[in-house]
Amino acid sequence: MNLSERTQWIKSQAYQLGFDFVGISAARKLEEDAIRLESWLNKNNQAKMSYMERHFDKRIDPRLLVPGSKSVVSLLYNYHTKANQTEGAPKLAKYAFGEDYHFVVKDKIHELMQRIQEKIGKVEGRVFVDSAPVLDRAWARESGLGWIGKNSMLINKERGSDFFISELIIDLELEYDSPIGDYCGTCTKCLDACPTDAIEEERTINSEKCISYLTIELRDNAIDQKFKDQMNDWVFGCDICQDVCPWNRFAKPHNEDRFLAKKSLLDLSREGWDQMDEPQFRELFRKSAVKRTKYSGIKRNLEFLKK
């Protein structure tokens, strides 16, 4: 296969595996993103996520992460759903309704890598699903899959932002896609809707104020009382800035069985959440991303939501 045929074949295989969008860019140092990341860190916007301070050089240059790499294949996997929790229940971000995306998406990219090696020959590389120092949104932007919105999320012009972003970084030269324009315009819906004012200028997030950070990443025994009346009943993550984004009117429900929510989860009432013990938590969220915050974290969050 020539360069073009090889590129199109890889994309076709990714689509066969269920990915919704695929873009490819040359592995290189992200100079402008390095400046933005350094500024974000200097403002302490990472809050207590100290891991964001490590491996700076690898974050901005995949060739240091995967020696010999030539191409970054960025892939978007849809998780949008019309499913809803019972009215009045503490709210989960919809990406956590089903099985942990790390496992679902990683399985598919490993299959893609295997197909590439079987078809093309010796190709070396690594699979990344939100599990290493990779600037996922930046690479998706560079690969033409969308632009970084004012809420700092990658927004795809065709289907919005309800996607998991992953990468296959390989030592294979391919044809490369180009970034697209910015289509946020003068819209400020995400900034206006954020109850904690976590969205800052230059399309960045002050993690210390972000509900997703407060309910998942923050490991303190207590959440600062200044957020007491601003949590909007979110117990794990937050979808506010995406739900109000006009581009998400184009979102379509996913087709992934492993992302389907258990009826027992959707039907769980506020009283059920409050009365949940640790064995029930482990069973309900056995293969879920919610396990990241642990039972103790969920109980802390539930306690904080009480009036």
Write the CB contacts of 303 (distance below 8 Å, at least 6 apart in sequence).
none
Convert 264-282 to b/e letters by CB count within 10 Å (16 or more is b).
ebeebebebbeebeeeebe
Which has the closest alpha carbon to 210: 36, 49, 33, 32?
49
Q: Which of 46, 60, 79, 96 is nearest to 210 (CA)?
A: 46
87 half-sphere exposure, CB direction, 13 A CA radius: 0
Give CA–CA dist 244/233, Å, rounded: 17
Please give the Cα distance from 199 to 151 (Å, whole number). Answer: 6
Q: Judge contact between 37 and 135, C-beta under 8 A.
A: yes
* Alpha carbon of residue 182 to chain centroid: 20
- Write down the residue that tokens 């400020």 correspond to: 188
Pairing of β 154-155 and β 147-148: antiparallel
Question: CA separation (Å) from 231 to 78, 216, 236, 307?
Answer: 26, 13, 10, 11
Chain centroid, CA 208 distance in Å: 18
Question: Residue 18 corresponds to which amino acid?
Answer: G
Cα separation, 104 vs 110, in Å, equals 10
For residue 130, indicate whether it is catalytic.
Answer: yes
The catalytically annotated residue of 107, 130, 136, 171 is 130
Distance CA 198, CA 196 (A): 5
Catalytic residues: 130
